[in-house]
Amino acid sequence: MAADPRDPGEQDASSRRKILKIGVGALGAGLVAIPLAPALGFLAYPLDGAGVAGETGFLAVGKRSGFGADVPVRVDLYADRTDAWNRTKNVKIGSAWVIEVEGGLRAFSTVCPHAGCAIDFDPAATKFTCPCHRSFFTLKDGAVEEGPSPRALDTLELRVEGGLVAIRFQRFRVGVVEKVVV
Ligand code: FES
């Protein structure tokens, strides 16, 4: 016998079936989304611009009085990092060499433009140097003096405000002549 649509009992049963279908559908979507979440987060990372809080901003690295001429000072830059699930405070995002040149400060990335090794300071030669393939760079402007680096050291934007030095950290493509932000 066909169910009477006017029967209140049948209407309740029909509503329960609809709610059950919606619930099962939502549960299924949730189960699919859980394993995909890290991948989706990874895909969203470069798009939402929230990968490293402050990465595009200026990060304080110390007092102006802490930097002088002749001997560069290496500083580490820290920022809060956010991904799809977590926010981690004070993650090291990079380093820079800071030196005073003609009364002003300059900051150079410590990433070698040749293949990405860490740039060092050679006090005997009074030059920046890369130990990987022996590139040498001037202290004044980071120009290549010797070695395979295809370009000068990458300068970073630097500000002095209220006696504090702040640097805007960026990464650049290695192995190419042009300075290209990555
Ligand atoms: S990585 Fe620096 S010279 Fe090759």
Number of the ligand 1 atom closest to the C-alpha atom of 117: 1
Residues 6 or more apart in contact with residue 112 via CB below 8 angstroms: 118, 119, 130, 132, 135, 149, 174
pLDDT at position 155 is 98
Distance 100 CA to ligand 1 centre (A): 24
Residue 22 has pLDDT above 60, yes or no: no
Tell me how far the alpha carbon of residue 130 lies from the centroid of ligand 1, in angstroms: 6
- Mutation to probe ligand 1, out of 130, 136, 144, 172 (largest number of atoms < 8 A from CB): 130
Distance (Å) from CA 99 to ligand 1 centroid: 21
Note whether 44 and 66 are same-domain residues: no
Residue range 128-144, pLDDT digits in tens: 999 999 999 999 999 99
Residue ranges making up the domain that contains 2 = 1-48
What per-residue confidence (pLDDT) applies to 4?
55
pLDDT score, position 152:
98
31 plus 10 within the same structural domain: yes
Asked if residue 92 and residue 29 are part of one domain, the reply reads no
Q: At residue 27, does pLDDT exceed 90?
A: no
Assigned domain for 44 exists: yes
The total number of residues shown for the chain amounts to 182
125 and 161 fall within a common domain: yes
Same domain, 132 and 120: yes
* Res 34 pLDDT > 60: no
28 in the same domain as 56: no
To test the ligand 1 pocket, which listed residue (129, 133, 151, 154) has its Cβ within 8 A of the most ligand atoms?
Answer: 133
- The per-residue pLDDT for 170 is 95
Residues 121 and 98 in one domain: yes
The CATH number linked to 124 is 2.102.10.10
Instruction: Give the torsion through C-alpha atoms of 11, 12, 14, 17, to 10 deg.
Output: 180
Q: What pLDDT is stored for residue 57 in this prediction?
A: 86
User: Looking at the predicted structure, is the pLDDT value of residue 123 above 90?
Assistant: yes
pLDDT confidence of residue 89: 92
- Residue 13's pLDDT band (cuts 50, 70, 90): low
Q: How are the residues of the chain apportioned to helix, strand and coil, as percentages rounded to the nearest 5?
A: 25, 35, 40
Same domain, 94 and 152: yes
When the pLDDT of each residue in the chain is averaged and rounded to a whole number, the result is 81
pLDDT (tens digit per residue) in 55-93: 458 999 999 999 999 999 999 999 988 888 899 999 999
